Chains A and B, each alone.
Chain A
Amino acid sequence: MDADNLALQYLLSGITKGSIYAVVAIGFNLIYSATGVLNFAQGEFVMLGGMIAVTLAAFVPLPVAVTGAVLAVTLLGCGLELAFFRRLRRHSVLHLIIITIGLSIVIQEAALHIWDEKVRSLPYFTGNEASSVRWWGASISPQVFWVLGTVGIAVLVLHLFLRQTLTGQAMRACSAQPEAAMLAGINLQNMRTLAFGLSAGLGALAGCVISPITMTHYEMGAPLAIKGFASAVLGGLGNPTAALAGGLMVGILEAASVSVLPAAYNDVAAFAVLLLVLFFRPHGIWGKPAGQGVREH
């Protein structure tokens, strides 16, 4: 394997990891933009998506199972907003963030009781555990294309939704200028519920497509939430496109660090870069400084 192919292999590995971080980071952003809350239960949506899909896949065909899981988790996301955040709106943002941490623990424990401690996974969408595609001298699992394709399309659809549809524009208005949006007749609270639902559904979708590669178990959410949060901060909170870039950057950084440093240091490398960026640009690479419409889609 020559150096070029090797570099491509590392890059692909980084992009695979990074695309998942990116989805979690976009989820963070959606909710942050709409409500100002950082939802640390974001990783749990990914876990639930995978778990529910695996359970359903035993009874129905795979596409139905994945759709069912995404719908179920979307509803759960909306339900959480209705049950907790809508009622507790008067509390400070900090309180709400702490509630999300609590929720993540509760969801994790619930998952442990509903399912169990064992790892499980969806079957590979195409091919099997050992199949791989040769591409410019690098070998990749076909599932990686599923991950990249699904994440890519999901992000594109989300982008179009926010820019082109009336509801999407209303959501953006809510985050840019809540009071003005309310005066214009937009139901702020429903938009917040929608943001939770979208972000949960997106997480669940990611949880389904990565399940064959990474496997799903009840504890997988927390590390993803941390990496996703780091990606969101690196890109700049409040900007979904930046979150995508941030996620890919964290993933690629990890893979690149493995090529030169012992693998044990890959988290260190990723977080060192994050810290460095925050030293020079506290609002992230593409974020806007506080006070200049931080929360914009």
Chain B
Amino acid sequence: MNMISRLLASALCGLGLAALSLNPLAAAPGDNVIKIGALFSVTGPAAFLGAPEAKTAQMVADKINAAGGVDGRKIQLLIKDTAGSPEKAVALARQLIEEERVLAIIGPSTSGETMQIKNLCEENQTLLISCAAAEVIVNPVAKYVFKTAQNDSAAIAWIYRHMKEKNISRIAILTGNDGFGVAGKKQLEDAAKAAGLQIVANEVYDRQATDLTDILTKVKSASGVQAVVNWSIVPAQSIVAKNMRQIGLNVPLYQSHGFGNRKYVEQAGVAAEGILFPASRLLVAHELPDSHPQKAVLTAYLKEYEAQFKEEASAFGGYAHDALLIVVEGVRQAKSTEPAKVRDAIEKLKNFVGVTGTFSFSPKDHGGLGLDAFEMLTVKDGKFTIYKP
């Protein structure tokens, strides 16, 4: 080996070492980035939630960074795919907290996953802004845990109020056997009692169900069913609508806010016409008057998302949009990236206009949304529109 090559070799080694030693420095706290973790089920059964959420989060982060970051500090967003599995969510959350030392985690997409990592985040004082809906996430309140999706109970309140107006008193409840369905089933049952509604059929189906005519036959045979409530987030929502019409069960069908995805309407085709469901205003942004406080935020989000990803935006992406912006707003207000200070700042946020609704947090309320975060929607000519009696 001659002199030159030896020199080159040693120089390369030196460079390699320098690169190695630089890396941990980049991750050290106090550096010029704000590390935010994101857990979304980009693949797996809840992919229809996680995929738009991950895309949205990345889009929002890129936009903030392009505009100079948060008070001059760039956001480093670390998106991990949980594939909808609570076990994976726990492992990835540990990695984000212990190795990456993130300020906050946004996500996970589902309630089951969120509940698995709630305590983990609380113990490690890492902010968790969940994009899942179940009320148990923020009730009882955990100091570091917030959520951006509307409460299930608010959706149920909308549905039952609507039924009262239509003099419906005997209902059937269908729920999926995933976390969303199980939590919803209990709340639907409890709230029905309070609302004076009688549940004459109550069935749970598999989240991978492919045909529900047997279950709907049972519903049809229950005497005097005046309406069906279907509570799930899976594609079976379209199957319920189709099968109901096919077997001639012609009563109003109410869906949960999980129906807020045009894909489901497409899949159900003409059977989707007339389905009633409470949902965020994102789906009907064009119908809102210009004076509505959310109008500007909604139109901006829709335009950017659809321009960048060439697909229609769903309400789910909005949860991630709001989660990330709430963390950013917390950092701005606190003028710090100390978790405790950011947390306090978020808890004090009032009238923060997001895609999902207008958030006002308090020490007792880490959900921040009221009943008004919903609007009763229906499907007309294959499109979502605000329900008008």
Contact = CB atoms under 8 A, between A and B. Distances in A.
A267 B204 CA distance: 12
Given A130-B245, A139-B246, A139-B248, A223 B267 contact: no
Contact of B238 (A6, A9, A215): A215
A117 B214 contact: no
B271 A13 contact: no
Contacts of B220: 1
A116 B47 CA distance: 9
B213 interface: yes
18 contacts: A17-B211, A117-B44, A117-B47, A117-B51, A118-B48, A118-B263, A124-B269, A129-B272, A130-B242, A130-B246, A132-B246, A134-B248, A140-B213, A140-B247, A215-B238, A262-B204, A263-B203, A263-B204
A130 B211 contact: no
Nearest to B46: A117
B43 A117 contact: yes
A296 to B, nearest CB: 32
Contact of B210 (A9, A112, A210): A210
Interface of A: 1, 6, 9-10, 12-14, 16-17, 112, 116-121, 124, 128-132, 134, 138-141, 210, 213-215, 217, 219-220, 223, 254-255, 258-259, 262-264, 266-267
Given A130-B245, A132-B248, A219-B208, A14 B214 contact: yes
**Of A16, A17, A112, A139, which is in contact with the most chain B CB atoms at under 10 Å from its CB?**
A139
Interface in B212-260: 213-215, 217-218, 220-221, 235, 238-239, 241-243, 245-248
B270 interface: yes
Contacts of A6: 217, 221
Contact of A264 (B204, B208, B269): B204
Contacts of B372: none
B177 interface: yes
Contacts of A214: 210-211, 239
Given A121-B267, A262-B204, A264-B205, A10 B247 contact: no
Nearest to B247: A139
A10 B214 contact: yes
B267 A215 contact: yes
Given A116-B47, A130-B269, A130-B273, 4 more contacts: A16-B211, A119-B238, A130-B242, A262-B203
B31 interface: no
Contact of A215 (B215, B235, B247, B248): B235
Given A112-B43, A263-B203, A9 B217 contact: yes
**Of B205, B211, B214, which is in contact with the most chain A CB atoms at under 10 Å from its CB?**
B214
* Closest 5 A/B residue pairs (Cβ): A117-B47, A214-B210, A129-B269, A130-B245, A129-B271
Interface in B186-210: 202-206, 208, 210
Contacts of B204: 262-264
Nearest to A120: B267
B221 A1 contact: yes
Contacts of A12: 213
A132 B247 contact: yes
Nearest to B219: A263
**Of B47, B203, B268, B271, which is in contact with the most chain A CB atoms at under 10 Å from its CB?**
B47
A129 B238 CA distance: 10
Contacts of A118: 47-48, 263
B246 A140 contact: yes
Contacts of B245: 129-130, 132
A149 B13 CA distance: 70
B180 to A, nearest CB: 15
B258 to A, nearest CB: 14
B69 interface: no
A108 to B, nearest CB: 10
A215 B214 contact: no
Contacts of A219: 44-45, 208
Contacts of B248: 132, 134, 139
Given A129-B270, A130-B270, A140-B246, A263 B213 contact: no
A211 B47 CA distance: 20
B211 A119 contact: no
**Of B43, B217, B263, B268, which is in contact with the most chain A CB atoms at under 10 Å from its CB?**
B217
A255 B241 CA distance: 19
